Amino acid sequence: SKKPYRWQRVLLKVSGEALAGDHTENIDPKITMAIAREVASVTKLGVEVAIVVGGGNIFRGASWAGCSGLDRSSADYIGMLATVMNAIFLQATMESIGIPTRVQTAFRMSEVAEPYIRRRAVRHLEKGRVVIFAAGTGNPFFTTDTAAALRCAEINAEVVLKATNVDGVYDADPRHNPNARLLETVSYHEVTTRDLSVMDMTAITLCQENNIPVVVFNLQKPGNIAKAIVGEKVGTFIGC
Ligand code: UDP
């Protein structure tokens, strides 16, 4: 039978920065609500949605490491905890509009959320629940982009949809170069060799090694999340 949508199961990566939007607080509730509404519109169509949330709006391990004697691992654990706060905020928002949602954390916080169990996550998705993966990979020295690539591969999702505050990948930095062009498609090779700053190297090579395409798009444009999830053309497509 012909698939009605391009993607059947997707991994949506929402960075902490995207959750903050232009808000002065760490999280803009208008953005979490927009995410909830758009995700609801596609789960109704039968597309399975898993989400990895970042934590950069609250705490970034790498930028704190070194300050005040904080070692990198400790800083990164704080960063991972930050992603849990975002995950619970997003879950509460989704459930407020009736979307069944489960949070799974990479390390145990059983009073707060389920521990990550791959088969259980897949089962939730099959039942039409949205699964939010929190605490990154559970390891310091990694990023939530790498967690997105890893979970995507683990649950056999077809694509990483990276929601950001920019329209996609440019051939130069649009903030400094007025002639910067938005690229429609880019190869993994170009991303790594031209230093296009899409994702860290660990994340992008994990996608490449597992043939996982990545779509980078702007979450602030209304309708974009839903478009990306159903596979409409939006932002930049990274693959091949
Ligand atoms: N982090 C980590 N291991 C992981 C994922 C995240 O140690 O597997 C920590 C790291 O300190 C990072 C912080 O959590 O700076 C927040 O995640 P990230 O910077 O990836 O969030 P985003 O940029 O997506 O907001």
**Residue 110, token pair as written in the block:** 């059983």
Cα–ligand 1 centroid distance for 61 (angstroms):
7
Question: To the nearest whole number, what is the mean pLDDT of the chain?
Answer: 94
Of 21, 53, 17, 49, nearest to 220 (Cα)?
Answer: 21
Q: Residue 10 corresponds to which amino acid?
A: V
- C-alpha 105/C-alpha 137 separation (Å) is 9
Q: How far is the CA of 142 from the centre of ligand 1 (A)?
A: 7
Provide the pLDDT for residue 174: 82
User: Which residue's alpha carbon is nearest to atom 22 within ligand 1?
Assistant: 54
Domains contained in the chain, CATH given: 9-238 (3.40.1160.10)
- What's the mean pLDDT in 191-206? 90
Beta strands at 214-218 and 236-238: parallel, antiparallel or unpaired = antiparallel
d(CA 179, CA 38): 32
Residue type at 78 in one-letter notation: I
Task: Write down the pTM of the prediction.
Answer: 0.96
> What is the number of other CB atoms lying within 10 angstroms of the CB of residue 193?
9
- Given a cut of 90, is residue 51 above it in pLDDT? yes
pLDDT tens for residues 164-193?
989 999 988 888 899 999 999 999 999 989
Ligand 1: which atom is nearest the Cα of residue 138?
A: 8
Average pLDDT in the 91-96 region?
Answer: 98
* CA atoms of 1 and 33, how far apart (whole Å): 34
Is the pLDDT assigned to residue 1 strictly greater than 60?
no
The pair of structure tokens assigned to 37 is 């509404």
Protein residues whose CB sits closer than 6 Å to any atom of ligand 1: 15-17, 54-56, 60-62, 75-76, 79-80, 82-83, 136-137, 139-140, 142-147
Name the pLDDT band for 3 (thresholds 50, 70, 90).
low
The string of pLDDT tens digits covering residues 11-32 is: 999 999 999 988 888 999 999 9
Could you tell me if the ipTM is greater than 0.85?
yes
- Laid out side by side, the sheet with 9-14 consists of 114-115, 101-105, 130-134, 48-53, 9-14, 159-164, 214-218, 236-238, 185-186
State which ligand 1 atom lies nearest to the alpha carbon of 140: 7
Radius of gyration, alpha carbons of the chain:
17
Give me the count of residues in the chain: 240
Report the percent of the chain where pLDDT is more than 70.
98
Identify which of 44-48, 59-63, 129-133, 219-223 has the greatest average pLDDT. Answer: 129-133
Atom of ligand 1 at shortest range from CA of 60? 15
Q: Please give the distance, rounded to the nearest whole angstrom, from the Cα atom of residue 178 to the centre of ligand 1.
A: 31
Ligand 1 midpoint to CA 147 (Å): 9
**Which of 11, 28, 76 for mutating ligand 1's site (highest number of atoms within 8 Å of CB)?**
76
Distance 86 CA to ligand 1 centre (A): 12
* 149 CA from centroid of ligand 1 (Å): 13
CA of 203 to the centre of ligand 1 (A): 12
